[in-house]
Chain A
Amino acid sequence: MNQPYDLVRARPEPEFEISVDGAPVPVIPGQTIGAALHGAGIRSWRTTRIGARPRGLFCGIGVCFDCLVTVNGSPSLRACLTEARPGDRVSTGARAGQVGPGGRAGDGDGTDGGKTVNGR
């Protein structure tokens, strides 16, 4: 779909690729990982820890933490805020969004061994 590009008369730089579970996804320099995935038709990239429900973008501006993703082994990054870099390896199979070693935000009650904290 070219329409948004025509609308702002964009002359985008050449795309680069990131890999999502091994499959290539094109990115315009500056796009977030979440936008690249959503734009490629990938609507969910993690499952919740209780109901195994699929989740992808919801708030899209870094507030809801639904779009958490693992990039190059770093877990719990907000895909909607994380600008893609050439060669990024995004993995969705793991139940991302859970706190583990090197994890980022904490589950609210802090009882699951997370190494990080989140305000309440």
Chain B
Amino acid sequence: MKPLYDLAVIGAGPAGVAGALTASFAGLDVVLIDAAPRPGGQYFRHLPQGFNAQAPGALHHGLDGFTRQWETLRARADVLLGHKVWAVERAEGTVTVRCLEGDREERPRTVTARGLLIATGAHDRPLPFPGWDLPGVLTAGGAQALLKGNLVVAGRKVVVAGTGPFLLPVAAGLAEAGADVRGVYEANGRLGLARHPLLAAGKAGEALGYGASLARHRVPYRGRHAVIAAHGEGALTHVTVARLDSAWRPVSTRTVECDTLAYGYGFVPQLELPVQLGCATRADADGSPVVTVDGGLRTSVPGVYAAGESTGVGGAVLAEVEGRIAGRSAAADLGRRVPPLPRLSRRRDRLAAFAKALLEAYPVRPGWQGWLRDDTLVCRCEEVPLSAVREAQDLGAIDARSVKLLARPGMGWCQGRMCGYAVACLAGEDPAAPRRPIAQPIRLGDLAAPTRSPLEG
């Protein structure tokens, strides 16, 4: 461990690992930090050693390449796994990263560096609907994490729903792992991207693979369908599936028995840390806030870079390319000789154009708001029903912030990470960049205590 690194990288997913490795090859002293006990982020989530998996790649597309980068990086840079970052600060050209080490007996740790690469990824974007808080209703990413990280199949009879191409690997993974997948319900058109030129250029094979897997397991894949209600006493027993019109208003409904629903309507980039540092944000193609970056993945704050989902949701391949570009920029900005590599930038442009096309092909359409009833919880933590949100609006709350102040959605444990998008939509605005000065819960004692660097162990 060093008292001052050239570059700290937060996030051990494809963007962070590629960025850290590239910066290290370019001559920087690098430290990589991640909250999880194993590398990979969400996409390349690793199984614990205890499984002795001989073929871990069966659960991931492209795992071998990631693993090679990870093994190389571990030999060249310092890696701090199991370190949750709760705050970052920057003063006089030095970035201070404040972490909590460990999953139970947390110890405060501080890392300092001249530059910072933020590669914190994204989480699922759930929409509220009647029954979404019943046990057995999971986010698609949650079902995926159970399988990839724990070899637990989320349920016996599973429905997969929401929108976007991510539903396919989730459903295929569950079916391959033995679940009876009762159906995949895509709220947008099923063939949203079939004609996109880039699909032919690379992603087609992957998509066809999932399609073949679903066909082999006789899993129906329906476009313009959604789960609009979940039912059960204390746990999920069945869902209401609706055929939708183009605005997502239900046209007809039927009931599907299941013990598990895995669903998601896109992703929310995790922006707490760049917002803490004052990095400028912009609205992405779907209206979500993302970090503004230049062609070298530099944010508006000198010495701070962002790569992967935080600059716009685009998947693991784009994330890796962005990580490499960011690592090169960080090295160049600290005076290392980094020859230009225009090919990499062109690759990023192509992949980013594809990501934008995906966001446009799988939007969230306003009809979902009609699925809610007065007593449907909008905020799970504070148990705020739709009626309370409407009441706040009747009292004069004209934006999401005043709805939050009057009715409390977004004020509980998750701090609006689950309901923030929905509350913004209900208030008639795009979601704002999150202002959370503390990115992870921390005990007051730890907050008050002087922090130690890992050096002082």
Binding site for B on A (CB under 8 A): 1-5, 7-13, 28-32, 35-36, 38-39, 43-44, 48, 50-51, 53-66, 68, 71, 74, 77, 80-83, 97, 104-109, 115-120
- What are 16 residue pairs bridging A and B, where the CB atoms are less than 8 Å apart in the complex? A35-B149, A35-B150, A39-B150, A43-B136, A44-B234, A50-B382, A55-B380, A57-B142, A60-B145, A63-B123, A64-B414, A65-B412, A74-B104, A77-B103, A105-B441, A108-B410
> Across the interface, which residues of A come within 8 angstroms of B436, CB to CB?
119-120
Query: Which among B151-159, B243-251, B310-318 touches the partner chain?
Result: B151-159
A105 to B415, CA, bound (A): 10
A73 to B190, CA, bound (A): 49
Interface string of B75-108 (1 = CB under 8 A from A): 0000000000010000000000000000110000
Interface of A (DSSP majority class): loop
A7-B176, A119-B436 given; A108·B145 CB < 8 A: no
> Across the interface, which residues of A come within 8 angstroms of B417, CB to CB?
63-64
Instruction: Choose from A2, A5, A105 the contact partner of B413 (Cβ within 8 Å).
Output: A105
Pick the most buried of B126, B150, B439: most chain A CB atoms within 10 A of its CB: B150
CB atoms of B137 and A58 under 8 A apart = yes
A64 to B413, CA, bound (A): 7
A65 to B136, CA, bound (A): 15
Decide yes or no whether B124 CB sits under 8 A from chain A. Answer: yes
Q: How far is the CB of B351 from chain A (nearest CB, A)?
A: 24
CB atoms of B151 and A5 under 8 A apart = yes
A108 to B137, CA, bound (A): 25
Query: Which among B19-27, B49-57, B193-201, B328-336 touches the partner chain?
Result: B49-57
Decide yes or no whether B338 CB sits under 8 A from chain A. Answer: no
> Across the interface, which residues of A come within 8 angstroms of B272, CB to CB?
119
CB atoms of B52 and A12 under 8 A apart = yes
CB atoms of B50 and A28 under 8 A apart = yes
Decide yes or no whether B326 CB sits under 8 A from chain A. Answer: no
Decide yes or no whether B408 CB sits under 8 A from chain A. Answer: yes
Pick the most buried of B124, B147, B151, B437: most chain A CB atoms within 10 A of its CB: B151
